[in-house]
Structure 1
Amino acid sequence: MLLLKLFLFFSFFFSTTFSHDPHPLPRPLIIQYPEGIETHFHEFDDELKSQCTSWRFAVEANNLSPWKTIPEECLGYIKDYMTGRGYEMDLERVSKEAGVYANTLELSGDGKDVWIFDIDETLLSNLPYYVEHGYGLEIFDPVEFDKWVQRGIAPAIEPSLQLYEKVLDLGFKIFLLTGRSEQHRSITIENLTKAGFRRWDKLILRGREHHGKLATVFKSEKRSEMVEEGYRILGNSGDQWSDLSGAAASSRSFKLPNPMYYIP
């Protein structure tokens, strides 16, 4: 049996080594070039998507230095995220977790337990504006944005509206703390009311004395004033880290997704 195996081995070796066939390897190994090219492009798309996902994660984790626009190559990715199920699911998850937390709290009953909400990209969505301005690809234009604000048609972010109603029903004081200018007070009230928000206790906007201050500084100062007045900040919802960080931070904060712009 051993001799037979050796004979067969050497017969195969010599037939493949010294054959005049120009294709000594098995024929099924022929490369299908069109399929290979398609796979290459598919792998490139996957790599770009992974890079843009990594960038968005760094944004949400506050790991990037201040940035002014989204990466140009990520425009399609950000558009798909903001208009697709991903953004909606992330909003729902944040609001759900905030609601679970709110239910665990025992309020004092003295009217001093506060939940703070930012407005833009937290209660009201400016996505219709950013659809027309490249989903954050364009440098922010405050004049054009103010024109949008003055229209007073920003829709509610539905998961945030649900959370808002929950904490309101639980007995929290609701303070709205926004970087919008005091000159937009009346249109902001009108827009919020149309979108379904009701019965807030304070609406705090930027006065002239606050113009030029970083959002982190402005909002820290306002939260500090609340604490000095005896309020307990138990919850805070915002789409920017500048809404949540700094002095007099809340007992727990909830960051909503926003890969379209950064406010320091």
Structure 2
Amino acid sequence: MGRLGGSLLLLVALLAAAAAAAASPEESSAQVEDTAPAQHASVEAAAVSAQQQQQHHHQEQHILPRPLVIELPSSAAPPDEAFEEELPLEVRCASWRLAAEANNLAPWRAVPAECAPHVRDYVTGVAYRADLDLVARESAAYARAAPRGDDGRDAWIFDIDETLLSNLPYYADHGYGLELFDHHAFDEWVERADAPAIPSSLKLYKEVRELGFKTFLLTGRSEAHRGVTVENLNKQGFHDWDKLILRQAVDRNKTAMTYKSEKRKEMEAEGYRILGNSGDQWSDLLGSSVAVRSFKLPNPMYYIP
């Protein structure tokens, strides 16, 4: 109430006492004698209450605001591991695949054993084909709308493996990523020149060329495989690229991201504008001298840093 409230209470009590005394001399005398102690106690109590409220209000003005309290999960809630165990295997593996595609996993060497059937069903089923088609359609829409110069220096970069050509026949014999990568076995597959084209990528490749982009094929394959790579690409309908860039001996110990960043930097030094880049690995797309737009194709079978 504050000081004003306390003063009002005291004034009301005094006026009541004066009115009682004016009513009848005899009655007032008796009433005053009977009620004076009670009135006095009431006035004192009101004054004390007003003083306490004033002190409490004064204290509240100096108390700091209550800090934000973060409610932690109840200790009765199951830990993350227990929650994951309760999920169906298909859900856990779909989450793993999403995390792999979004580059949210630490570098991984092979598909988890329990998820190998999930990955097999995905890459051999309609979902993988639908995902590839969607990436190609979005890429083509961007290519058609991208502002281009009239100097012939607008470039689009394509990776090869799992971007233009599919190695699913090889991975079908190696657990769809369940087995650790075997360079020797994969090189033998490459030398057969039998990798089929990814249909949506072939369509995108042709449209990009028709739009006037310079097409650079930038692959982690070694220079020793140039002949079989050209043979394989031509058999599958890929023709007339502007550059085919493969790893030289000096690139052997570089990560894919370092190697491809350096090659893109060389393109820019030659005056090219890298408007688009298509690859199945984040290392195809990240690093330096990145494209204006990059398009990630799905690949849950292997990871290349």
Give TM-score scaled by structure 2 length: 0.71
Counterpart CA distance in 1 for 2:217 and 2:100 is 24
Stretches of structure 2 lacking an aligned partner (at least 5 in a row): 1-84
- Residue 91 of structure 2 is matched in structure 1 by 50
- Residue 124 of structure 1 is matched in structure 2 by 165
* Per-residue deviation, residues 88-108 of structure 1 (Å, max 9, x unmatched): 000000000000000102321
Counterpart CA distance in 1 for 2:264 and 2:197 is 24
Counterpart CA distance in 2 for 1:194 and 1:45 is 49
Matched position secondary structure for 1:197: coil
| One-letter amino acid matched to 1:190 | E
The percentage of counterpart residues that share the same residue type is 61
Question: Which of 119, 124, 149 in structure 2 is aligned with 1:108?
Answer: 149
Alignment of 1:248 with 2:279, yes or no, is no
| One-letter amino acid matched to 1:139 | L
| One-letter amino acid matched to 1:178 | T
1:91-102 maps to which residues of 2 (within 5 A)? 91-102=132-143
- Structure 1 residue ranges (4+ consecutive) displaced by more than 6 angstroms after TM superposition: none
Matched position secondary structure for 2:271: coil
- Residue 187 of structure 2 is matched in structure 1 by 146
Give TM-score scaled by structure 1 length: 0.82
* Per-residue deviation, residues 115-144 of structure 1 (Å, max 9, x unmatched): 000000000000000000000000100000
* Per-residue deviation, residues 147-176 of structure 1 (Å, max 9, x unmatched): 000000000000000100110000000000
Counterpart CA distance in 2 for 1:100 and 1:241 is 21
Matched position secondary structure for 2:226: helix
Stretches of structure 1 lacking an aligned partner (at least 5 in a row): 1-43
- Residue 159 of structure 1 is matched in structure 2 by 200
- Residue 222 of structure 1 is matched in structure 2 by 263
Matched position secondary structure for 2:244: strand
* Per-residue deviation, residues 194-230 of structure 1 (Å, max 9, x unmatched): 0000110000000000001000000000000111111
| One-letter amino acid matched to 1:207 | Q
| One-letter amino acid matched to 1:57 | L
Counterpart CA distance in 2 for 1:75 and 1:218 is 30
Counterpart CA distance in 2 for 1:70 and 1:105 is 37
* Per-residue deviation, residues 63-104 of structure 1 (Å, max 9, x unmatched): 001000001001111111000000000000000000000010
Q: What is the CA-CA distance between 1:46 and the residue it aligns to?
A: 6.8
- Residue 232 of structure 2 is matched in structure 1 by 191
Q: What is the CA-CA distance between 1:109 and the residue it aligns to?
A: 1.9
Q: What is the CA-CA distance between 1:111 and the residue it aligns to?
A: 1.2
Matched position secondary structure for 1:151: coil
May I ask how many residue pairs the two structures share in their alignment? 221
Superposition CA RMSD, Å: 1.1
| One-letter amino acid matched to 2:144 | N
Counterpart CA distance in 2 for 1:212 and 1:127 is 26
Counterpart CA distance in 1 for 2:262 and 2:86 is 45
Counterpart CA distance in 1 for 2:199 and 2:141 is 17
Matched position secondary structure for 2:88: helix
- Residue 62 of structure 1 is matched in structure 2 by 103
